[in-house]
Chains A and B, each alone.
Chain A
Amino acid sequence: MEFPNHHRQIVEDLMAGKFILPTERTFEVLKENEDFYTQFFKASFNYDVRFTQDYVYMVSDESNEMLSRDMCIFIALLSYELDRDGKNFLERIQYSEFEMEEIENYLTNSSYIDLILSNKQLKDAESRRNFINTLNRRNIIEKIGDNRFVFTSAHKFFMDFASDIVKFENASEGN
Chain B
Amino acid sequence: MKAEPRTILRFLLEYFDIISELYDTQSKDGIITFETLNQITEKHGFDIKIQLLEYKVLSNVNENYEIRTVYYNLIEFILSEFKPMLPETIEKYHISIAELFRKIREQLNGDKVLLNQRISELSNEIRSFYEMVEKNTISLLNETRELKANVKKVDYREKIIRASRWIDEYIIPLNKILDINHSASIANKLYDVSEFSNKYRLNFDDENTRVQFERLYFQLIQVNDNLLRQSKILTNELLPLIERIRTESIILTGWITFLKNPYKQKVPKILKRKEVTVYSQDTFFNAAEIFEQFKNEEDVYFDEVEVEAEKWIFDKEHYTQKLKENLPVDNFFKWCNKTLKDDYKKVEIEKFFALTSLAFDENLLLEYTAKPEYEKIKINDLTLTVPKIKINNHGIS
Residues of A within 8 A of B (CB): 12, 14-17, 47, 57-65, 67-69, 71-73, 75-77, 79-80, 83, 88-90, 112, 115, 120-121, 123, 126-127, 130, 133-134, 137-138, 157-159, 161-167, 169
- B258 pairs with A72, CB closer than 8 A: yes
Residues on B with beta carbons closer than 8 Å to the beta carbon of A63: 269-272
Q: Which 3 A-B pairs have the closest CB atoms?
A: A162-B254, A76-B255, A165-B254
B155 to chain A, nearest CB (A): 13
- A64 pairs with B262, CB closer than 8 A: no
Interface stretch, picked from B244-252, B315-323, B355-363, B383-391, is B244-252
- A134 pairs with B271, CB closer than 8 A: no
Interface residues in B, total, Cβ within 8 A: 36
A132 to chain B, nearest CB (A): 11
- A12 and B282 in contact, given A72-B262, A76-B259 (Cβ under 8 angstroms): yes
> Is B268's beta carbon under 8 Å from chain A?
yes
A22 to chain B, nearest CB (A): 19
Q: Tell me, in angstroms, the Cα distance from A157 to B265 when the chains sit together.
A: 16
- A137 and B289 in contact, given A88-B248, A130-B295 (Cβ under 8 angstroms): yes
- 5 A-B pairs within 8 Å (CB atoms) are namely A15-B274, A71-B270, A115-B259, A120-B296, A162-B258
Q: Which of B259-279 contact A (CB under 8 A)?
A: 259, 262-263, 265, 267-274
Q: Which of B59-112 contact A (CB under 8 A)?
A: none
* CB-contact partner of B262 in A12, A73, A169, under 8 A: A73
- B269 pairs with A68, CB closer than 8 A: yes
- A64 and B270 in contact, given A90-B251, A120-B296, A165-B254 (Cβ under 8 angstroms): yes
- B267 pairs with A69, CB closer than 8 A: yes
B383 to chain A, nearest CB (A): 56
- A134 and B267 in contact, given A12-B282, A83-B252, A164-B254 (Cβ under 8 angstroms): no
* CB-contact partner of A161 in B256, B263, B267, under 8 A: B267
- B268 pairs with A158, CB closer than 8 A: yes
Q: Tell me, in angstroms, the Cα distance from A110 to B271 when the chains sit together.
A: 30
A95 to chain B, nearest CB (A): 13
